[in-house]
Amino acid sequence: MNETSPVDPAQPTGRIVLLTTSHRVAPGLLSWPAWQVLHAADRVVCGDGAHPQVPYLREAGVAVDTGSPTAEELVAQCAGGRTVVVVATGEGEPALTDGLARLAGSGRVAMPELELLPASYDLPGARLLDLVQVMDRIRAECPWSSQQTHKGLAKYAVEEAYELVEAIEEGDREELREELGDVLLQVVFHARIAEEDPETPFSVDDVAATIVTKLIHRHPHVFGDAVAQTPEEVRDQWIRLKAVEKRRTSVTDGVPLHQPGLALAAKLASRVRTAGLTVPLPTGDGIGYDLLTLAARAESEGVDPEAALRAAARVYREAIRGVEGVGEED
């Protein structure tokens, strides 16, 4: 081990640069400041010989020594004003940084300048790559996940959607973040299963590409020359474009008939109102027609009947618990 020198203000102490990169960015795509530091450094070291950046650095003419020098050895190598770049591994070199902190705190060592230089950054959405990779491994190695099908998972998509709605209505931010993740998992899981289809496979990238194309096409006021200045104009434009895309002949086309009854009734009423049609509500004996009338009325007043009924049901639930003598702690 090289001995470190005592503090000497007149002696150039050099510089240690800890270079960090993101595994979510292709190796070799580094910032210009990072390449400048790498080419100008007196020594470049990396504790992981299999680090994905090493081959690209060497191809660019940067000599990289593999190994894990101690904090004392690094400080000694910087003597005389030399610059040493440490290409950080995935763990961020905690042992090295802790050792440097101890040396600096001792007051007995002429410490070089310490610099943290991020060489590549995660773009927004980069964590989705982690989710795709985790899902790939789970699909391949988990006995339960490897046997799942679209049909078998369908019920979970419905359950997770309702749990997301509940988190929204409760105003629970922590729960909202978790439930959004659960819904996202369903999308990625189904896309992973779809890759294995022998006839018409598609991937999560195909799913993303499809929705991107759809969003751009249905927002010509954002990505084109169309004008839509109010939420109502945007909604009407969306409906018109969707009707053309789907080649629909009726305003009822595309309304899922298996959704909850109140939501179905409200959706049909909304389609009728938006299209400017005059369609009298059917009459008949039975509570179903009464509920249909209530749902249509709620939609006309801008009220989601499902949400309104859930809110009333919660009040009813608390009344029941009050009669039972059950408190929140129970």
147, 238: one domain:
yes
DSSP bridge partners of 326: none
136, 172: one domain:
yes
Nearest in space to 185 (alpha carbons), one of 213, 210, 165, 204:
204
- Which stretches of the chain score pLDDT less than 70? 1-11, 328-330
Number of domains in the chain: 3
In a domain, 10, yes or no: no
Residue 328: phi and psi, rounded to 5, are -60, -35
Measured CA to CA, the distance from residue 19 to residue 17 in angstroms comes to 6
pLDDT at 329: 64
DSSP bridge partners of 43: 84
Q: Which of 201, 223, 258 is the last residue of a domain?
A: 258
**CATH code at position 226:** 1.10.287.1080
Structure tokens at 9: 């203000």
Q: Are 145 and 138 in contact (CB under 8 A)?
A: yes
DSSP bridge partners of 116: 18
In a domain, 4, yes or no: no
**CATH code at position 54:** 3.40.1010.10
Measured CA to CA, the distance from residue 311 to residue 298 in angstroms comes to 14
Nearest in space to 74 (alpha carbons), one of 49, 109, 106:
109
In a domain, 322, yes or no: no
92, 33: one domain:
yes
Measured CA to CA, the distance from residue 165 to residue 176 in angstroms comes to 9
Q: Are 4 and 106 in contact (CB under 8 A)?
A: no
229, 136: one domain:
yes
157, 109: one domain:
no
Measured CA to CA, the distance from residue 80 to residue 10 in angstroms comes to 10
| Sign of the alpha-carbon dihedral angle for 129, 134, 139, 140 | positive
In a domain, 314, yes or no: no
Measured CA to CA, the distance from residue 95 to residue 93 in angstroms comes to 6
H/E stretch holding 9: none
Q: Which domain holds residue 31?
A: 15-118
